[in-house]
Amino acid sequence: MQTLSLLVNRLLQLLPVLLGIAIVTFLLLKLTPGDPARLLVGDRASEETLAAVRQEYGLNRPWPVQLGTYFGKLAQGDLGESIRFRKPVSGLILQFLPPTIFLVLYVVSLTVPTTLLLAIAAARNHGGWADQAIRVFGVCGFTLPVFWVAIMLSRLFGVELGWFPVSGYGTGFLEHLHHLFLPALTTSIWLVPVMVQSLRAALLEKSEADFVTAARSKGLPERGVFWRHILPNALLPTLHLLGVMVAYLIGGTIIVEAVYAVPGLGRLMVSSILSRDYSVVQGLTLFFALATVLVTLLVDIATTLIDPRVRL
Amino acid sequence: MLRRVAFAGALALATLFAAPEQAPAQDAIRIASPYQTTTLDPMRSAAAGNIEVYGLLYARLINRDAQDQLQPALAESWEVSDDQRIYTFRLRDAKFSDGSPITAEDVAFSLNRVRTDERSAYPAPLGSVEDIAAKDEKTVVFTLKAPFAPFLSNLDVWNMGVVSKKDVDARGEDKAFTENPVTSGPYMVKEWRPNDRLILTANPNYWREGYPKTANAELLEVSEAKTRLGMVQTGEVDAIRDVPWSEVDPLKTQENVELKLEPSTVIYMVLLNSKREPFSNAKARQAAAHAIDNKAVTQAVTFGYAEPANTTLPGAIDFHDDQHPGISYDPAKAKQLLQESGMGDREVTILIGTSATAEQIAVLMQAQWNAIGLKSKIQKVDGSAWWDLVAKGEYDASPTWWYNETPDPDLAVRWALCGTCGSDSFYTFYTNPKVDELTEQGTAEQDPQKRAEIYKEIQRITTEEVSQIPLYYPPYANAYSKRVQGLRLTPSLQWTLEEATIGG
Amino acid sequence: MSVLAQHGLSARRAVSSWPGTLVLGLLIIGGWLLLAIFAPLAAPFDPNAVDILHILEAPSLTHWFGTDQAGRDVLSRTIFAARVDLFMCVMGVVPPLLIGVTVGLVSGYLGGVADAVLMRIYDVTVAFPFFVLVLAIVGVLGPGLGNFFIALALVGWVTYARLMRAEVLVIKTSEYALAARSLGFGPLTIMLRHVLPNALSPVLVYAMTDAVLVILAGASLGFLGMGAQPPLAEWGVMIADGQSYVVRAWWICFFPGLAAVTLGMGLALTGDGLARLLR
């Protein structure tokens, strides 16, 4: 019951946020130089042709009118039509969504076990060589530019060794797993260090917390203290971080998608921005906002399930 | 509770990805290009990605073959009137992909759209035409305003494909060209995933018996050059466009991949804005040109795979003046010219888009201009903003490229050198009445030798006055999987996909 | 609790008792800082000196790190780029930090309407795709590093705000703050004198990570062709440009990559050390 009212509450709060985002995006796009008509017809078109095309797509109307029309459609749940492709924006988003979702879940399923393993190893070995090694590799993984890692991995495992495809998404679950392995690995290489750092810090902090000292003083074995008291309490901040990261990844796998030619949302976003396909950029921005809010909500719900003391 | 959530999640996942496992895809030829397909309507766009596609979907009246000869295609034969103004084409018995006959009516409809629709992206090839009419079911008559030498040659340009009038009338333009267009060319659309790929399958009614030789093909959009390279090396695609020059040598040693340097009508050059100072001053333009060592630039940028350019027209074009000495690299002369121009104290802006090649050229140019005392700064913007600024004339110099869609120089001159032909000499705003006059003479004249003289004169004037700084003539660097035979990219940016076979 | 307990101790600790990671981290950052300041002395060549006849030359005695696609000395460019990248770290971190800390402090401490409004702005910003913003800003204001910083300031503050607000919420209800209030201090005094110093440590630790993120964001933008304007040397852009030549000339992206990793390492170690020192 409480969860339900929370849900309703959150969704109500969402409306002004979406409205704000829609307006800001619209204005930013209007201010950006560049003309979708020009990119559409190509370089040889005359001014008259450009004017005719702008007229056709309503690009020459004053912007408040355009904004009004846009909101009118939005109110009816219509995200509009892509200027480039003359196809509905919602259809385009649906077309590019599955690879992104698959990739994000893939990243999560690679990252979570690795993070647990490494963070626990590091924290239990605090200051030891394993801890240091994990940290050094972590810093390297985190500091290397993503596109560079992506290009190197694709050369090594794709071109040289031939273990994994270097592009695309494939058809069917197994092919998806195969095709998206390198993109997921590339993303995990910077994500795991971030997560490990957070979890390790939390583990160390909790291991000195009062309730842990209390548990120890009761004579519980160190192993039991760790698994029953320290770990569950240390997980929460990391879970929140994971939520933030997942929300980021839904719209933020741009570079990985570019290097591995994955037909995902990030790619749609970049190409739409570059072609000034306003309605698609608008639709995607709203979609990302929605996704961010939903992921946050999911994390909050998961938090209450893990730790019933937390009230939302 | 947690378990139930997990279960629901798994279920959602399963439904999301349990896309019906397709039967092993029939073997297809896959081509990766950096340019995107945005429309399937041949009238609507002159953007590179669409140009590659049009020829695969829509047949033209005539085709240019590998030997550069014009061959009958949808037109079986044609006659030219004595005054060179009336061209009568006799169509062969051919059908659209939906089985309906291709009539003279369709031809007139398709080409009139290109010629007269106000949204037509590139009406120039038919600029000489006064009227196109269907005389009967199988006869189309073109009436020209005046004799026009390159007329037949222009009918091979990419937007001259024939579309079905009946279908466009019935479904409306938007639907007819976004959902499975009715086609007249070797292929029809099986599925179009915008921004990702175009999946093609053979048009069973294609007029050319026994073609296309390979029934299935896919055109993929892959923006990253490195990715395209990896894909052709792993066999994920069979052909890729635009191999970076630095990768040409490494790729030559690959066993399963063949690198082809194919002839192109591309020219790399530097736009100079004649509308504003300093480059409104001819001496300043000449100084800028003499300062650039275009042989060294060509070597540095293309590793010697391109020809240094000697005139303002592409090297592979008909009537290109191979004898012209070009603009010499002469810093001393450049310095002097700059001084004479009185523009030495201006700082110019070199505008570039996001291409790595343009950036490399810009950096080299900047250094060479610096050497003669011409100060510059580089302004890098994204492609969309680049077009905006260039078309408005808000730049001083910009290294870029263009290509010509036919070997005949007329369209090239109209695009890049003629000040009164609608493109402001490729937005350099260079204008010389003599050149404009010669442009018209060049097409009125039918004798090739006399035409050669005219175009030689145009090249001489524009090169001397430096309407643009010619840099180099690059070939297309494409890589092909060795399992595919007969596939190439023509200078007019058309794939010979219908002749390609998979074997070995 | 723990933050409160250690308050006031950290500043008085002697350098000798600093964690090793902090010392090492600061040494690395300091090293880069020195190189950046004395770049004209340290670099053997002008970083922008083009040599069209000696492009893509492998590392040699003349050019220790080789030359790039315009024949420029990679070593000199790498050294000069340190100036740009350190500047980016500062400009990409400090403004978002100041904005974020202020927002977090105000919304956490005051609560109520201020909190509600600021958190809605927070929601909008968090949900806003970074690249739309960067592109639009670069488009509107013209390209260049300055506008990259503006974009970073507009989106980067959110993490600081979240961290700060969370800390403030904890400290606000602590005995420490309650005591201050009972002594009659006003909200501003309490916020600045008592809450802020206590809540600052996670923010400072995160700032180190954020500095690395700024460099990475710069590199990603370079990859998408929207980074620092040429011919300015910047590690991210050098790596992005060099990746086209990775088979033929690995040195163009290797050395700036190495530089970025060492600075990143320095920042990460400093962050780690700070976390220990302040805890």
Confidence of residue B272 (pLDDT cuts 50, 70, 90): very high
Residues of B with CB below 8 A from A33's CB?
Answer: 381, 384-385, 388-389
Which tokens go with B173?
Answer: 């333009």
For the stretch C40-76, pLDDT in tens is: 999 999 999 999 999 999 999 999 999 999 999 999 9
- Give the model's pLDDT for residue A290: 87
- Give the model's pLDDT for residue B350: 96
- Give the model's pLDDT for residue A310: 53
Average pLDDT over residues C9-36: 79
Average pLDDT over residues A196-209: 85
Contact A145 C272 (CB under 8 A): no
User: CA B366, CA C62: separation in Å to the nearest integer?
Assistant: 24
**Least trusted range by pLDDT, from B183-197, B267-281, C140-154:** C140-154
Residue A140 and residue A105 share a domain: yes
Q: List, as one string, the DSSP characters of B345-362.
A: TPEEEEEE-S-HHHHHHH
- List the CATH code of the domain at C13-278: 1.10.3720.10
Residue A12 and residue A137 share a domain: no
Domain layout of chain C by residue ranges: 13-278
Phi, psi of C43 (to 5 degrees): -80, 130
CB contact at 8 A, B427 and B379 = no
What CATH number is associated with residue A239?
1.10.3720.10
Nearest-CA distance B122 → chain A (Å): 6
Residue A219 and residue A111 share a domain: yes
Residue A192 and residue A47 share a domain: no
- Give the model's pLDDT for residue C142: 66
C50 touches chain A (CB under 8 A): no
Residue identified by tokens 């913003």 is: C133
Residues of B with CB below 8 A from A271's CB?
Answer: 36, 195, 223
User: CA A107, CA A177: separation in Å to the nearest integer?
Assistant: 11
- Give the model's pLDDT for residue B18: 43
Nearest-CA distance B434 → chain C (Å): 37
CA atoms in the 13 A half-sphere facing the CB of B315: 20
- Give the model's pLDDT for residue C227: 77
Q: Which of B122, B179, B227 to mutate to test binding with chain A, by most A CBs within 10 Å of its CB?
A: B227
Total CB pairs under 8 A between chain B and C: 72
B271, β-bridge pairs: B398, B468
Which tokens go with B132?
Answer: 């196109």
Q: Which chains touch C (3 or more CB pairs under 8 A)?
A: A, B
C167 touches chain A (CB under 8 A): no
pLDDT at B2 over 60: no
B479, β-bridge pairs: B240, B259
Average pLDDT over residues A77-91: 91
pLDDT at C9 over 50: no
| Domain stop point among A18, A48, A75 | A75
Confidence of residue C102 (pLDDT cuts 50, 70, 90): very high
A144 touches chain C (CB under 8 A): yes
pLDDT at C4 over 50: no
The residue ranking higher by pLDDT, B253 or B484, is B484
Strands B484-485 and B139-144: unpaired
Residue A289 and residue A246 share a domain: yes
Taking CA–CA distances from B47, the nearest residue in chain A reads A42
- Give the model's pLDDT for residue B60: 97
Nearest 10 degrees: Cα torsion A255, A256, A258, A261: -170
Residue A106 and residue A238 share a domain: yes
Task: Check residue A86 and give left, alpha or beta (phi > 0: left; psi -120 to 50: alpha).
Answer: left
- Give the model's pLDDT for residue A44: 83
User: CA A82, CA C101: separation in Å to the nearest integer?
Assistant: 40
Phi, psi of B241 (to 5 degrees): -100, 160
Confidence of residue B257 (pLDDT cuts 50, 70, 90): very high
pLDDT at C1 over 70: no
A94 within a domain of the structure (yes/no)? yes
Residue identified by tokens 């201010």 is: A31
Residue A153 and residue A102 share a domain: yes
Find the DSSP H helices in chain A: 2-31, 36-41, 47-56, 63-75, 89-124, 129-143, 146-153, 173-179, 181-207, 210-217, 222-225, 231-252, 254-259, 265-274, 278-306
Nearest-CA distance A190 → chain B (Å): 21
- Give the model's pLDDT for residue B14: 46
Q: Which residues, including other chains, have CB under 8 Å from residue B351's CB and lie 6 or more apart? A: B379, B381, B386, B389, B390, B395, B396, B397, B398
Phi, psi of B266 (to 5 degrees): -85, 145
Residue A100 and residue A19 share a domain: no
Mean pLDDT (chain B, rounded): 92
- Give the model's pLDDT for residue A107: 96
Residue A255 and residue A138 share a domain: yes
- Give the model's pLDDT for residue C224: 74
Identify which of A26, A201, A194 has the alpha carbon closest to the alpha carbon of residue A120.
A201
Strands B70-72 and B239-240: unpaired
Residues of B with CB below 8 A from A56's CB?
Answer: 119
Nearest-CA distance B218 → chain C (Å): 26
- Give the model's pLDDT for residue A312: 46
Nearest-CA distance A271 → chain B (Å): 8
Contact C220 A20 (CB under 8 A): no
pLDDT at B16 over 60: no
Confidence of residue C12 (pLDDT cuts 50, 70, 90): very low
Q: Closest to B36 (Cβ–Cβ): which among A87, A260, A271?
A: A271
pLDDT at B1 over 50: no
A25 touches chain C (CB under 8 A): yes
| Domain stop point among A19, A45, A75 | A75
Nearest-CA distance C48 → chain A (Å): 24
- Give the model's pLDDT for residue B412: 96
The residue ranking higher by pLDDT, C228 or A104, is A104
Residue A291 and residue A265 share a domain: yes
User: CATH top-level class for B266-473?
Assistant: alpha beta
CB contact at 8 A, C164 and C101 = yes
Domain layout of chain B by residue ranges: 14-220+479-502, 266-473
Identify which of C269, A21, A41 has the alpha carbon closest to the alpha carbon of residue B159.
A41
Identify which of C246, A168, A273 has the alpha carbon closest to the alpha carbon of residue B222.
A168
- Give the model's pLDDT for residue A2: 66
A146 touches chain B (CB under 8 A): no
For the stretch B27-64, pLDDT in tens is: 899 999 999 999 999 999 999 899 999 999 999 999 99
Contact A171 B21 (CB under 8 A): yes
For the stretch B273-288, pLDDT in tens is: 999 999 999 999 999 9
How many distinct helices (H) and strands (E) make up chain C? Answer: 12, 0
CB contact at 8 A, A54 and B58 = no
Residues of B with CB below 8 A from A151's CB?
Answer: 226
Residues of B with CB below 8 A from C223's CB?
Answer: none
Q: Which fold has domain B14-220+479-502?
A: D-Maltodextrin-Binding Protein; domain 2 (3.40.190)
Contact A271 B1 (CB under 8 A): no
Show which of residues 402-431 on chain B sit within 8 Å of chain A, judged by CB atoms. 402, 415, 422-423
A1 touches chain B (CB under 8 A): no
Residue-range definition of the domain harbouring residue A45:
2-75
Nearest-CA distance B360 → chain C (Å): 7
CB contact at 8 A, B226 and B38 = no
CB contact at 8 A, B405 and B158 = yes
Buried b / exposed e over B46-64, threshold 16 CB at 10 Å, is bbbbbbbbbbbbbbbbbbb
CA atoms in the 13 A half-sphere facing the CB of C92: 20
Identify which of B328, B351, B353, B371 has the alpha carbon closest to the alpha carbon of residue B469.
B328
pLDDT at B6 over 60: no
| Domain stop point among A49, A75, A101 | A75
- Give the model's pLDDT for residue B304: 93
A311 within a domain of the structure (yes/no)? no
Taking CA–CA distances from C218, the nearest residue in chain A reads A145
Show which of residues 206-245 on chain B sit within 8 Å of chain A, judged by CB atoms. 220, 222-224, 226-227, 230-231, 233-234, 236-237
User: CA B309, CA B316: separation in Å to the nearest integer?
Assistant: 11
The residue ranking higher by pLDDT, A1 or C30, is C30
pTM of the model: 0.89
For the stretch A232-289, pLDDT in tens is: 888 888 888 898 889 888 877 888 998 999 999 989 988 898 888 989 999 998 998 8
pLDDT at B501 over 90: yes
Confidence of residue B292 (pLDDT cuts 50, 70, 90): very high
pLDDT at A27 over 60: yes
* Cα of A234 vs its chain's centroid, Å: 23
Identify which of C195, C202, C218 has the alpha carbon closest to the alpha carbon of residue C159.
C202
- Give the model's pLDDT for residue B17: 45
A278 within a domain of the structure (yes/no)? yes
Confidence of residue A220 (pLDDT cuts 50, 70, 90): confident
Nearest-CA distance B333 → chain A (Å): 35
Contact A148 C239 (CB under 8 A): yes
pLDDT at B191 over 70: yes
Q: Which chains touch B (3 or more CB pairs under 8 A)?
A: A, C
Residue A62 and residue A98 share a domain: no
Nearest-CA distance C62 → chain B (Å): 20
A16 touches chain C (CB under 8 A): yes
Strands B307-308 and B468-473: antiparallel
A250 within a domain of the structure (yes/no)? yes
Confidence of residue C143 (pLDDT cuts 50, 70, 90): low
- Give the model's pLDDT for residue C139: 67
For the stretch C167-225, pLDDT in tens is: 888 777 777 777 877 888 877 787 788 778 877 888 888 898 889 888 888 888 877 77
What is the distance between the terminal CA atoms of chain B, rounded to a whole angstrom?
Answer: 58
Q: Give the full edge-to-edge strand order of the sheet including B216-221.
A: B187-193, B197-202, B216-221, B29-33, B239-240, B476-481, B257-262
Q: Closest to C70 (Cβ–Cβ): which among B352, B363, B380?
A: B363
What is the distance between the terminal CA atoms of chain A, rounded to a whole angstrom?
Answer: 12
Confidence of residue A1 (pLDDT cuts 50, 70, 90): low
Phi, psi of B489 (to 5 degrees): -110, 125
Which tokens go with C162?
Answer: 């979240």
C126 touches chain A (CB under 8 A): yes
Confidence of residue A128 (pLDDT cuts 50, 70, 90): confident
Residues of B with CB below 8 A from C221's CB?
Answer: none
The residue ranking higher by pLDDT, A227 or A93, is A93
Residue A237 and residue A162 share a domain: yes
- Give the model's pLDDT for residue B237: 96
- Give the model's pLDDT for residue B392: 92
Average pLDDT over residues B370-395: 92
Q: Closest to B234 (Cβ–Cβ): which among A43, A105, A162?
A: A162
Find the DSSP H helices in B315-396: 331-341, 356-371, 383-392
Show which of residues 128-147 on chain C sit within 8 Å of chain A, judged by CB atoms. 128-133, 135-137, 139-140
**Least trusted range by pLDDT, from B258-272, B436-450, C206-220:** C206-220
Confidence of residue B24 (pLDDT cuts 50, 70, 90): very low
Domain count, chain A: 2
**Least trusted range by pLDDT, from A62-76, A178-192, C192-206:** C192-206
B388 touches chain A (CB under 8 A): yes
